[in-house]
Amino acid sequence: MSDQPADPRTLTDDQWRERLTPDEYRVLRKAGTEAPFTGEYTDTTDVGVYRCRACGAELFRSTTKFESHCGWPSFFSPLAGDAVIERPDDSLGMRRTEVLCAACDSHLGHVFAGEGYPTPTDQRYCINSISMTFDAGDA
């Protein structure tokens, strides 16, 4: 993406609407959630890097993706600790932890811990496919 501004945080809401499709905008900028088992990367096992669809920042590697059967792409760790921001989310009457892109503050999904998945962290970064783009072969 060559037309990225130096700091995507400076984009206005109208500019985001122009840059994203309506579905991307609803998830990335309005903290929406795609329907389970519909995202294009739910079952992807190819080797590569997942980037933020809003700003292009690298977020997750395929080596941390695991089969959670929850209906969304799941990772046990972000690519780097500072690639994402985590913050409390009390919407829908639940205490969850929202995951956002650290570079542009776009909504990615939620992270859950202690569910018993056999991964090194026992965390599940449950990320909307529509929040990401996949670059194959660079993990």
- Which residue ranges make up the site for Zn ion (CB under 5 A)? 52, 54-55, 57, 101, 103-104, 106
Nearest-approach distance from CB 18 to Zn ion, in angstroms: 16
Which two structure tokens, joined as six digits, stand for 41?
A: 């990367």
- Write out the catalytic residue numbers: 126
Cα 24-62-77 angle, rounded to 5 deg: 85
Between 11 and 103, CB nearer to Zn ion: 103
Nearest-approach distance from CB 23 to Zn ion, in angstroms: 16
Between 52 and 126, CB nearer to Zn ion: 52
Between 59 and 126, CB nearer to Zn ion: 59
CB 139 within 8 A of CB 61: yes
| Whole-angstrom distance, CA of residue 99 vs CA of residue 84 | 6
Nearest-approach distance from CB 62 to Zn ion, in angstroms: 19
Q: What one-character-per-residue DSSP string does 22-46 give?
A: HHHHHHHTT---PPTT-STTTT---
